[in-house]
Amino acid sequence: MAYSPESNGMAEALVHTIKRDYVFVSDYINPNAVMTMLPKWFDDYNRVAPHSSLGMLSPVEYRTKIS
């Protein structure tokens, strides 16, 4: 994928959201434990967590709704 400034901003926003909503509120202080939890947190982010930009639906719910 070609680099664009917009893609960097989107990536930084996602990293910020994951840190804010999952890492900082967890009891995990060990980087290896955080890395182990990332797949579960990404699944929650995509399937469960409501997103204000998607009308308070998760991305999976939103894609199902518009399909």
19-61 pLDDT, tens digit each: 999 999 999 889 999 999 999 999 999 999 999 999 999 999 9
Q: Give Cβ neighbours of residue 37 (< 8 Å, ≥ 6 apart).
A: 22, 26, 28
Residue 20 and residue 28 in contact, taking contact as beta carbons nearer than 8 Å:
no
For range 8-19, the mean pLDDT: 90
Q: What is the DSSP string of 26-55?
A: SS--SHHHHHHHHHHHHHHHHHTS-BGGGT
At residue 67, does pLDDT exceed 90? no
Residues 54, 51: Cα–Cα separation, whole Å: 5
Q: Is this prediction's pTM over 0.85? A: no
Q: Structural domain boundaries of the chain?
A: 5-66
At residue 1, does pLDDT exceed 60? no
3-state class of 57 per DSSP? strand
